[in-house]
Amino acid sequence: QVQLVESGGGLVQPGGSLRLSCAASGRSFSTSAMGWYRQAPGKQRALVARIFSSGSTNYADSVKGRFTISRDKNKNTVYLQMNSLKPEDTAVYYCHAGTIPPTYWGQGTQVTVSS
């Protein structure tokens, strides 16, 4: 059974940093894309960042220059370093793994940016 387990969310002040982790188990995703999405209240889930097996990445325009996605293939884990956080970054962040179906989602971790 494939599982994606996120960690690292929490409450942070504007301008602060958080690092999210997503550990996958049940199969290897070393040849697949992994990524992070987020969903704010009343909004649709949207891509934040994605990293491909080649190491290439893409980011939502709103997080470029502030967030960095990385992965450790040996640990089957993807990370999201979030710097210069803004209140509008507040959302539930979901890990996603897989390039073609079936793809998989984590349960989500709350990130709240507030003073």
Identity of residue 41? P
Q: Determine how many CB atoms are found less than 10 A away from the CB of residue 1.
A: 5
User: Residue 14 has what pLDDT?
Assistant: 98
Nearest to 113 by CA among 6, 16, 7, 8: 16
- Cα angle 64-92-73, degrees, rounded to a multiple of 5: 65
Summarize the confidence of residues 2-19 as an average pLDDT: 97
pLDDT tens sequence across 55-87: 999 999 999 999 999 999 999 999 999 999 999
* Mean pLDDT, rounded, of the chain: 97
Strand partners, 24: 4
Reply yes or no: is the peptide bond before residue 14 cis, omega within 30 of 0: no
Tokens 């960042």 correspond to 49
